[in-house]
Amino acid sequence: MSTDHSRALTSSVFPVAAHAQFVVVDDVNLVSRPAGLAWEVAGAPYVAGTTAYATVFAVDPGPDDTVVVSGAAGGVGPLAVQLARRRGATVIGPASERNHDWLKDRGVLPVEYGPGVAERIRQASGGRVDAFIDTFGDGYVALAVELGVRPERINTIRDWQAPAEVGARTYGEGAAACAVVLGELARLAASGQLEVPIARTYPLEQVRDAFRELEQQHTHGKIVLRPQLQLPERASSRHPRTSMRAGSGWSGWRCLRAVLHNAQSVTVLPRRPRG
């Protein structure tokens, strides 16, 4: 979800009101849109990007790890595979064949999903899978266990039953949706270090068509809704440095910890007085 007249992204829209021309957000949830980052791209990282960030954070892949990402070419998956690759991990991505070239070009080893996927993953990984990010559900947590992945290195954003049974993780958007993470994702996208594929852009009036396409579960990238607004450009621009107003509360430290390993600069501002 993107908002403001011309410059800002938001990391929080509660109560949920994402399909609207205007939303009210707390200013602490606003992030400057980097110059040159197209609106379609800038609007996508909030849910998909912060979710991908959380999934990668949850399984903590490193250069010695092989990680599988189900739904690798969908909406969340493409961002998760790139963030895992940035940490140096070997990434295997189940996807249909038409998406294999896109994955290969990003350093991902694609495999076909469907019957026999476990064997294809074993072959691609050389028999050792260290972590598993599931963005699709439908039995992938059980597959990860079958492949020998330790439960604490399995994360799903779609299946709540299986993690409860095997002790896997369910880190999603809620674990990383803050202005600091969003700002970092926007910076990576603007500098060409993170590609945010856009499947298609719909005008807001065609929101039903957008959902029909989404329901097919074969989109590559994000579907973007774009409201038609004619609003004046603002004269001033915000300073590009990342800032965070979170104090020393639990959420604040969680966000700060999540970005410390790759943030360029983080400024923690004092809590605003209540009342």
Taking the C-alpha atoms of residue 153 and residue 131, their distance in angstroms, rounded to an integer, is: 5
Interacting residues with ligand NAP (CB under 6 A): 47, 51, 70-71, 73-77, 94-96, 99, 113, 135-136, 138, 157-158, 172-173, 214, 217-220
Q: How many CB atoms lie within 10 A of CB 266?
A: 16
- DSSP letters, 205-230, are GGHHHHHHHHHTS--SSEEEEE----
User: From the CB of 110, what's the least distance to ligand NAP, in Å?
Assistant: 9
User: What does DSSP say about strands 8-10 and 30-32: parallel, antiparallel, or unpaired?
Assistant: antiparallel
Name the 3-class secondary structure at 112: coil
Kindly tell me which of 60 and 266 has the beta carbon lying closer to ligand NAP.
60
What is d(CA 197, CA 164) in angstroms, rounded to the nearest whole number? Answer: 32
Which tokens belong to 223?
A: 């579907």
Q: How many residues appear in the chain?
A: 275
Radius of gyration over alpha carbons of the chain, in Å?
A: 19
Report residue 127 CA to chain centroid gap: 28
Instruction: Work out how close the CB of 214 gets to ligand NAP at its nearest, in angstroms, rounded to a whole number.
Output: 6
Distance (Å, whole) CA 128 – CA 149: 9
Least distance from C-beta 218 to ligand NAP, angstroms? 4
Which residue lies nearer to ligand NAP by CB, 51 or 66?
51
Q: Which amino acid is at 21?
A: Q
**How would you label 95-120 residue by residue, b for 16+ Cβ within 10 Å and e otherwise?**
beeebbebbeebebbbbebeeebeeb
Least distance in angstroms from the C-beta of 221 to ligand NAP = 9
Residue in the block written with tokens 């852009």: 201
Instruction: Give the shortest CB-178-to-ligand NAP separation in angstroms.
Output: 14
Shortest distance (Å) from residue 113 CB to ligand NAP: 4
Residue number, 49 or 61, with CB nearest to ligand NAP: 49
Query: 71 or 252, CB closer to ligand NAP?
Result: 71
Comparing every residue's Cβ against ligand NAP, the nearest one is 172
User: Phi and psi at residue 77, in whole multiples of 5°?
Assistant: -55, -45
The nearest distance, CB 47 to ligand NAP, in angstroms, is 5
Position of tokens 């958007």? 173
For ligand NAP, the closer of residues 80 and 243 by Cβ is 80
